[in-house]
Amino acid sequence: MQALAEPKDPKARGSRDPSGSVARILAAAREEFGANGFDGTRVEHIARRAKVSKQLVYLYFDGKSELYSELLKTISIESYTKLLKIDFDALDPQTAVRTYILSIYDQYRDDPVMAMVTLDQSLHNGAQIRLSPEAKRMHDAVSDRLGKVVERGKSAGLLNADVTMESLEFMTVIIVAGCVSSRGMFSRFLGRSLMDQDDPAFWRNYALSFILRALRGDEKPSDQADSG
């Protein structure tokens, strides 16, 4: 895959954008990518939704990939901002992990675009992910706090010895994204509605308890493999 060109200077964008074109372009990109994913979105569609010319979009952005990367950066920073407001150090490990999982679930539930781009980037192997220095600093801070929670939980015997900060983060995102966005698809596949499908509280609690049971499990993954 061809590497992205260096993003244009955001300060220059703002200084040359008295009418707020960049903000409208980014808002339109969120709508288009959220509805159609990376492959189904066209720059001309973003321009039309933002009520600007296609040429103006290319004045501020190097193309569809950079627009998608900007969206991912914005979503990441919004998510990290919410997570950093949680005082993990003041909570016991079990409460801290529960609070983290529910925060992620609520973010995905409240912002369908978040689930869409997560699944879409899974299909593209994260090709449009470009962590900005700000997003990386925030992610490192969240990771540091979660890592301490995990170690405290393992020391107290509340978490499986195999649990790591990375596995907690990964499995939470994967399970939550699927739970929030894929129920309708799976119901069509089954030819019937899932139990309590229309009860958001049921799935929020089910995802939480499912992840917590896995984190507390005594068996190692290798012990669960089919020996036959």
The three state secondary structure string of 46-108 is HHHHHCCCHHHHHHHCCCHHHHHHHHHHHHHHHHHHHHHCCCHHHCCHHHHHHHHHHHHHHHH
Within the chain, which residues score under 50 in pLDDT?
A: 1-7, 11, 218, 220-228
Indicate the average pLDDT of the chain.
85
Q: Where in the chain is the domain with CATH 1.10.357.10?
A: 71-217
Q: Where in the chain is the domain with CATH 1.10.10.60?
A: 16-61
**pTM of the model as a whole:** 0.82
The whole-number pLDDT of residue 58 equals: 95
Rounded distance, CA 1 to CA 62, Å? 15
The whole-number pLDDT of residue 41 equals: 96
The whole-number pLDDT of residue 17 equals: 60
C-beta neighbour count of 119 within 10 angstroms: 14
CATH fold group of domain 71-217: Tetracycline Repressor; domain 2 (1.10.357)
The whole-number pLDDT of residue 8 equals: 54
Indicate the angle between helix axes 112-123 and 21-40, nearest 10 degrees: 50
The whole-number pLDDT of residue 194 equals: 66
**What's the CATH class of domain 16-61?**
mainly alpha
